[in-house]
């Protein structure tokens, strides 16, 4: 069994993966460029919120199976789990993948496996292989019997976990593994079988890359349909939540729920990778992105209309994260909405986000304040529900009787 693992990137995927592998008995070395994160993890603490992750990281560090630093070391398997955002014009940015690849290249030895877990544009696994081989002429990926003593193995295994359920889904979810060649696929499958209880699905690298993009584009298109229905229903004075509930009683209909937009590091980003790869063919996917990106601005306009009746309006904004019960603000439509309201000077903003200790820097302003739920509602004229956190179920509905309520999630419906 390959026992030494080097994980590059200790964020929402890399840290849970590293700590899980350490608990499973692997010797794990985690790497991150964020020195503060490295210092916290080395003390058995965490810099991100995920249920039970703090317990697992502490156990992994105390056991001596997990070490972290800002530099890679030699290992049997290297896992790259770094961000893959987009840049201007929604062009994919794989610079972090390139930096991670270059960082591990000096430490590679024949027989090593390099696994890309970051959701990436199609062809990224091939690029990683070429970057390595360009820098290390002593290595190869040839399947020739004569070259096997010099070869490395490269594969893509996209993460498929949901924030809030990461530690369970890392083990239980089916995994897609696509190697740069057949031997890379087989070697990588052997590794994942040691800790994944779900099915291991074998393919090639390009198909594995597109499978993850397809999964998230499917979700995005279906959410766009729900969001478009919400716009139509607002125009026609129909309750969209009741409409969807009734329509979903059809045995072959399953409409998702509308919201203030789409956020996170996957669904709001990955479809753009397909649009960039095939702009003339990805028309529906592109349109879905337009619908979902339109929704935050639409919510802002609804708040502005209702705020006009107050001389000095105060708005309680309930939730900032991109989905319920997590602290992740990446690509969050809720953050975008609150930032927009702040810039427009619509009124004072009492922000409630139970999973963070301080507001993001863009919202650290005199007229924006982080508050507890009940205080924020009591002091506000308008209550804007943006995220359906479970803790909001404890809200006393009597507090809302004299308020204007704008519910983007159907939470109070």
Positions marked catalytic: 212, 266
- Alpha carbon of residue 237 to chain centroid: 34
**Cα–Cα distances in Å, from 393 out to 234, 336, 386, 396?**
25, 24, 14, 8
- Phi/psi of residue 401, each to 5°? -60, -35
Under 8 Å CB-to-CB from 31, ≥6 apart: which residues? 6, 7, 8, 9, 10, 68, 69, 70, 71, 72, 103
Comparing CA positions, the residue from 17, 32, 163 lying closest to residue 77 is 17
d(CA 112, CA 261): 42
Q: Report d(CA 91, CA 278) in Å as an integer.
A: 12
Q: Which CA distances in Å does 275 have to 14, 89, 383?
A: 27, 11, 36
């Amino acid at each position: 069994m390959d026992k030494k693992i080097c994980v590059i990137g200790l964020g929402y995927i890399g840290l849970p993966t590293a700590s899980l592998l350490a608990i499973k008995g692997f010797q794990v070395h985690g790497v991150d460029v964020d020195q503060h994160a490295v210092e916290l993890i080395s003390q058995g603490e965490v810099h991100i919120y995920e249920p039970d992750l703090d317990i697992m990281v502490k156990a992994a560090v105390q056991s001596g199976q997990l070490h972290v630093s800002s530099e890679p070391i030699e290992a049997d398997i290297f896992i790259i789990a770094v961000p893959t955002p987009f840049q201007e014009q929604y062009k994919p940015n794989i610079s972090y993948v390139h930096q991670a690849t270059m960082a591990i290249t000096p430490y590679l030895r024949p027989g090593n496996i390099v696994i890309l877990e970051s959701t990436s544009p199609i062809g990224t696994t091939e690029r990683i292989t070429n970057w390595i081989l360009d820098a290390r002429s002593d290595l190869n990926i040839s399947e020739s019997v004569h070259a096997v003593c010099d070869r490395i193995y490269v594969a893509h295994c996209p993460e498929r976990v949901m924030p809030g359920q990461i530690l369970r889904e890392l083990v239980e979810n089916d995994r897609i593994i696509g190697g740069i060649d057949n031997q890379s696929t087989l070697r990588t499958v052997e590794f994942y079988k040691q800790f994944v209880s779900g099915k291991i699905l074998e393919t090639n690298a390009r198909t594995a890359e597109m499978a993850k993009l397809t999964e998230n584009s499917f979700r995005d298109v279906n959410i766009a349909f729900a969001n478009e229905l919400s716009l139509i229903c607002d125009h026609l004075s129909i309750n969209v939540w009741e409409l969807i509930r009734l329509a979903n009683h059809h045995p072959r209909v399953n409409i998702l729920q509308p919201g203030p937009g789409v956020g996170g590091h996957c669904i709001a980003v990955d479809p753009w990778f397909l649009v960039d790869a095939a702009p003339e063919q990805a028309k529906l996917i592109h349109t879905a992105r337009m619908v979902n990106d339109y929704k935050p601005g639409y919510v802002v306009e609804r708040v502005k209309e209702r705020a006009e009746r107050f001389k000095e309006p105060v708005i309680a904004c309930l939730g900032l994260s991109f989905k319920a019960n997590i602290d992740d603000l990446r690509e969050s439509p809720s953050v975008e909405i609150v930032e927009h309201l702040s810039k427009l000077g619509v009124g004072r903003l009492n922000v409630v986000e139970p999973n963070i200790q301080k507001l993001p820097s863009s919202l650290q302003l005199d007229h924006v304040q982080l508050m507890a739920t009940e205080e924020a509602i009591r002091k506000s004229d308008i209550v804007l529900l943006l995220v359906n956190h479970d803790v909001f179920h404890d809200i006393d509905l009597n507090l809302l009787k004299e308020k204007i309520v704008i519910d983007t999630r159907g939470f109070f419906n």
